[in-house]
Structure 1
Amino acid sequence: MAWNEPGPNRDPWNQGPGGGKRGGDGPPDLDELLRRLKARLGGKGPRPPSGGGGAGLPAGLLGVAIAVIAALWLFTGFYVVDEQERGVVMRFGAYSRTTVPGWGWHAPWPVEKVEVVNVTQVRQVNDRATMLTKDENIVDVELTVQYRVSSAEQYLFSVDDPDMTLRQATKSAVRETVGRSEMDFILTEGREAIADRTKQLLQDRLDAYKCGLIVTEVNLQQAQPPEAVQSAFADAIKAREDQQRIKNEAEAYANDRLPRARGAAARQLEEAQAYRDQVIARAEGDASRFSQLVAEYRKAPKVTRDRLYLDTMSTVLSGSSKVLVDTKSGSNQMLYLPLEQLMKSVPKTDEAPDYSMPQGMAGRSGISTPVDPARTRERGR
């Protein structure tokens, strides 16, 4: 109500407990004023007259409003964490706990706050720069680093910008690795070794910084000399590749020839061994046969001599063509012998028949060595 509103008892500063005035011009009673203000807001104490200009808020509605506001405030504390994420709860800005995937609740703001971090997403950083090698050459290197979050707590609280820290650590690690390697090694067979060494150095530094990151893969995409000298390096690399190719071909030829030579040598050794055993066995057999023949010859010289003669003639004549002519018939007819046909019918053998006799046996028996076919025919007549 207005202070100058007409009517009795309308001045709020001059109303006493009984509704009267304290004095015409005296100061208002502050205790009474506060008491009335509290009664209007809390719904307690004396109510203002029903004919007044305004009405107070009922106590029930005020309580419901406060309860609804409190429920909404508490409801803001619910949150959801996906399977590939982790929730980090902070209480008054300090780390409190890490929650697993699913529903969660934290004390609403400003008491607690939650930060959700993706710990399965593979992130990637590319780095390309010109570096100095161990042998004081310059090489252009392009590198790709793949990583992910290993600790959500360290990722949020250990360093200010973990991703930027990883980029700087990557530059440092690859420069250190290239600076300890020679250019020929980097351009040829050292790509995988450079990537592995860079990955190890990078992970060690990230662990020392406690960034909460883990390096999953480091790929050396490109390593080449500067453009001004690329043609010269290309020729050198081609020559080196030709050298390696020719070396591989020579090794392949050696690997093919050496086993063959070893096999041929082993085969010759086996053949020589077999020939030696054969000669020894044949000599032993001849000696045994000679000893047996000597014993039989001493018992019956004539019979043994005739037997040897017949065996020798059987051996000689078995491999030749034979023509029998009856010279005792007394006929003077001229005989025609088709020698050409007879020679064609002679069987061919790889080796000539051995007509020789043991030397000891020939000396004792009086039989010549080798046997002469002409003399054999004369004896037959």
Structure 2
Amino acid sequence: MSWNEPGGDKKDPWSGRGDQKGPPDLDEAIRTLQEKLGKIFGGGGGGGDGNNGGAPSQFNPANIIKNLGYVAGIAIGLWGLTGFYIVDEGNHGVETRFGRYIGTTQSGLNWHIPAPFERVDIVNVKKNRVIEVGFSSRSAEQSVANDALMLTKDENIVDVRLGVQYQIKDAKDFMFNMANPEATLIQVTKSAERSVIGSSTMDFVLTEGRSEIVTRIKKEIQNVLDSYKSGLQVTSVNLQDAQPPEQVQNAFADAIKAREDQQRLINEAEAYSNAVVPEARGAAARKEQEAEGYKQQVIAQAEGETSRFTKLLGEYTKAPEVTKKRLYLESMETVLSSTSNVMIDVKAGNNVMYLPLDKIMQQQQAQQPSISSNPVVSSDSNSNLRTSHSQAAVEEAAAAERAVSSRGRENDARGR
């Protein structure tokens, strides 16, 4: 039966006290604890015989201090290892000692005095952060009327929606100089936007001035942030939309259409002008050149004729009869060389007429004339054969001869 059942021997198999009755001895429990502590810290047990029992163990102070030093060293080493930290690429670590700024660490493995003395805050300086003014991409209501409606220089209202992207350029300023950097940036953006829009006209904002307005807003925002030493860098400002209020959009669309039609007509007129004006200027320049050429030609021809007549007058003064006859022959040659009529002097005693038919045929083939009738040749024993053309040529030659004769007589009179 069990030791604790009725009728058992009441012996505790774990106590080892045999037949001992009653509670355990307090002195014996203390002595056992001292022995165990002595083994841990290297203390020796006291001597004595088995009948009297062993004396209490004595503590060794040197061993205790040594062991406590080991334990303290291990604890300090483990505490020091907790000061190692890794900063990922694109992040900066801001170290503070009791809340005061110590330094900024770059990416890689770094160490600081562990808590509670120092603390490290990791700041992502490469992340692009975005704020929205005048609209919200996370809300069903795309336009925020209080922030989107703005008054322009010409007292018109426009609906402007702006998105600003920014990064952290200085982790220290970002951590310590502003309590809420994003809220501050939103307020600065609203102020800069209203300042720029308020100094511009409505047409400039809605049409050709978008890029200039974005540049001015970005510059003004950055100037204010730098004056605050916020540690923020504005990377881009995006004008999401700029339009008149919904109530007047239809009228504004009509105005834009009319303006576009006006510009189209202006462009067409300019294109027509660019096509016609140079052509007219070219034609005018060509006429001027032709007139100038004709002027030079007439002047040169007149000068040549004058020079020739002067020289001819000198020759006539020297030999009037010879010069007169030579002029007559040259005039007749010039007149008759351009006609196909043939003149025959029957007084020469040879009335046989020779016609160069081969040359006449070659001339006709070259000019491709349409021959309707052969030339009529009439003979008269008392006069030369003439045609109507030859008669006119002779009359012109006679007039030239008379003019030369009268000029010669005048020169003779001057000579006398």
Common fold, TM-score beyond 0.5? yes
Say if 2:410 is the partner of 1:365.
no
SS at match of 1:340: coil
Deviation of 1:189 (Å): 1.4
Say if 2:157 is the partner of 1:125.
no
Deviation of 1:205 (Å): 1.4
Q: Give the % identical residues.
A: 48
Deviation of 1:184 (Å): 1.9
Distance change >3 Å, CA 261–CA 60, structure 1 → 2? same
**Residue aligning to 2:162:** 143
Query: After the TM superposition, which of the residue ranges 206-215 and 96-105 deviates more from structure 2?
Result: 96-105
Cα deviation, 1:25-81, whole Å, max 9, x if unaligned, reads xxxxxxxxxxx9xx98x959998997879x999666644443333222212222223
**Residue aligning to 1:187:** 206
Deviation of 1:118 (Å): 2.1
**Residue aligning to 1:269:** 288
**Residue aligning to 1:105:** 111
Give the aligned length. Answer: 321
Q: Please point out which of 327, 334, 340 is paired with 2:372.
A: 340
Deviation of 1:363 (Å): 2.8
Q: Could you tell me how far apart the structure 1 residues matched to 2:270 and 2:101 are?
A: 65
Q: Could you tell me how far apart the structure 1 residues matched to 2:169 and 2:104 are?
A: 13
Q: Please point out which of 266, 283, 304 is paired with 1:285.
A: 304
Residue type at the aligned position of 1:340:
S
Residue type at the aligned position of 2:233:
I
User: Quick check: 2:90–2:124 contact (8 Å CA) kept in 1?
Assistant: yes
Say if 2:306 is the partner of 1:306.
no
Q: Could you tell me how far apart the structure 2 residues matched to 1:11 and 1:87 are?
A: 55
Cα deviation, 1:235-288, whole Å, max 9, x if unaligned, reads 001111111222222233333333333333333333332222222211111111
Say if 2:97 is the partner of 1:91.
yes
User: Quick check: 1:88–1:116 contact (8 Å CA) kept in 2?
Assistant: yes
Q: Could you tell me how far apart the structure 2 residues matched to 1:356 and 1:72 are?
A: 139
**RMSD, aligned CA:** 3.9
Cα deviation, 1:132-156, whole Å, max 9, x if unaligned, reads 2223222111111121111111111
The within-5 A match list for 1:232-251 is 232-251=251-270
User: Quick check: 1:90–1:113 contact (8 Å CA) kept in 2?
Assistant: yes
Residue type at the aligned position of 2:160:
V
Q: Could you tell me how far apart the structure 2 residues matched to 1:282 and 1:144 are?
A: 82
Q: Could you tell me how far apart the structure 2 residues matched to 1:9 and 1:339 are?
A: 169
Say if 2:314 is the partner of 1:295.
yes
**Residue aligning to 1:372:** none
User: Quick check: 1:321–1:342 contact (8 Å CA) kept in 2?
Assistant: no
Cα deviation, 1:6-29, whole Å, max 9, x if unaligned, reads 3669889xxxxxxxxxxxxxxxxx
Q: Could you tell me how far apart the structure 2 residues matched to 1:162 and 1:10 are?
A: 66
**Residue aligning to 1:219:** 238
Residue type at the aligned position of 2:159:
D
Q: Could you tell me how far apart the structure 1 residues matched to 2:401 and 2:42 are?
A: 159
SS at match of 2:133: strand
Q: Could you tell me how far apart the structure 1 residues matched to 2:277 and 2:343 are?
A: 61
Say if 2:86 is the partner of 1:67.
no
Task: Give unpaired runs (5+ residues) of structure 1.
Answer: 13-35, 332-337, 344-352, 368-381
User: Quick check: 1:127–1:171 contact (8 Å CA) kept in 2?
Assistant: yes
The within-5 A match list for 1:132-211 is 132-211=151-230
Deviation of 1:342 (Å): 6.4
Q: Could you tell me how far apart the structure 2 residues matched to 1:43 and 1:11 are?
A: 17
Deviation of 1:207 (Å): 1.3
Say if 2:35 is the partner of 1:6.
no
Deviation of 1:176 (Å): 1.9
User: Quick check: 1:140–1:223 contact (8 Å CA) kept in 2?
Assistant: yes
**Residue aligning to 1:349:** none
SS at match of 2:331: helix
Q: Could you tell me how far apart the structure 2 residues matched to 1:87 and 1:315 are?
A: 113
Q: Could you tell me how far apart the structure 2 residues matched to 1:341 and 1:47 are?
A: 172
**Residue aligning to 2:139:** none
Deviation of 1:327 (Å): 5.2
Q: Could you tell me how far apart the structure 2 residues matched to 1:238 and 1:325 are?
A: 90
User: Quick check: 2:128–2:165 contact (8 Å CA) kept in 1?
Assistant: yes
Distance change >3 Å, CA 112–CA 174, structure 1 → 2? same
User: Quick check: 1:290–1:361 contact (8 Å CA) kept in 2?
Assistant: no
Deviation of 1:307 (Å): 2.1
**Residue aligning to 1:18:** none
Residue type at the aligned position of 2:326:
R
Cα deviation, 1:306-336, whole Å, max 9, x if unaligned, reads 22223223322333323456756679xxxxx
